[in-house]
Structure 1
Amino acid sequence: MGKVRNILQGKGNVVFSVAPTVTVYKAIELMSLKNIGGLLITDAYGKLLGIFTERDYARKLILKGKSSKDTLIGEIMTENPVTVSPDNSIEDCMKTMTNRFIRHLPVVDDGELVGMISIGDVVRYIMDEQRGIIEDLEFYITGHHQ
């Protein structure tokens, strides 16, 4: 099975992040514009401070009656998120996401934020890997690709 670095090579290392002083409204606007379900919160030096997801929005803002235009993202972000390194296996990521009920994993290499993977990225990688294995087996059995 592959490594996190394999996913990042395929999707790129683009990381969408905001400062903790941004309003929740602005963060949600960015998430909608980029069609993403999670946003990383970083300081001015790019150090990871937390993560904000659609789940945080629903549970920590809407259900508590707070206003997205008056609340700073730093107030409701999940601090110290679970992270992985580029060398973690896809299988380990899948186990972590399943066991901890999370859908996004920031990727940190030697203390530097280098990307983020989602459960969708993990599933897509596994499906592509399995498709390749099936094609190889078909070639082995029949002598040609279907």
Structure 2
Amino acid sequence: MKISDVLRTKGTDVVTVSPDQSVGELLALLADHQIGAVVVSSDGEAVEGIVSERDVVRRLHSEGASIIEAPVSQIMTKEVRTVTPADGIAELAVTMTEHRFRHVPVVEDGRLIAIVSIGDVVKHRLRTLSAERDQLEAYITQ
């Protein structure tokens, strides 16, 4: 199974935030779209970073409420692991678990095309297992 299989059902909508937007604006995006992370990109195509709810919470704890006015570039993760649509889902799940991150940008030909969450990976795996179970039951009962 490939990342492209997840994208077929999930879609390729991806929310980005500019590195110079404020953390407050980031929080509005997260709330409005009911998501846990966004890709940081000046042009919507290049991945400059990623920022999640966890990043905000940790900075609120260490620096206080003044972080809300700071630019996203101040709290984003700059070294971002990415995947391509051709990469395997199982390998991605292992990487996400080992490195404890929940969102990974999907890049093709150097352009951001989607973002995949651990929830997307789990949902896809559950759908696959359910389909396999149904096929086995149909085979056995025939």
Q: Which TM-score applies when normalising by structure 2?
A: 0.95
Deviation track 1:16-57 (CA, whole Å, cap 9, x = no partner) reads: 001101000111111001000001100236211000001101
1:59 is displaced (CA, Å) by 1.1
Instruction: State the alpha-carbon separation in 1 of the partners of residues 44 and 28 from structure 2.
Output: 23
Higher helix share: 2
Aligned to 1:109: 108
Unaligned 5+ segments in structure 2 are: none
Q: Is the 8 A contact 1:61 1:76 kept in 2?
A: no
Aligned to 2:64: 65
Aligned to 1:86: 85
Q: Which runs of 4+ in 1 moved over 6 A?
A: none
1:60 is displaced (CA, Å) by 2.4
1:120 is displaced (CA, Å) by 0.3
Q: Is the 8 A contact 2:24 2:68 kept in 1?
A: yes
- State the AA in 1 paired with 2:68: K
Root-mean-square deviation (CA, aligned residues, Å) is 1.2
1:71 is displaced (CA, Å) by 0.7
**Aligned residues, how many?**
142
Q: Which TM-score applies when normalising by structure 1?
A: 0.93
- State the AA in 2 paired with 1:55: R
Aligned to 1:43: 42
Unaligned 5+ segments in structure 1 are: none
Instruction: State the alpha-carbon separation in 2 of the partners of residues 13 and 58 from structure 1.
Output: 27
- State the AA in 2 paired with 1:126: R
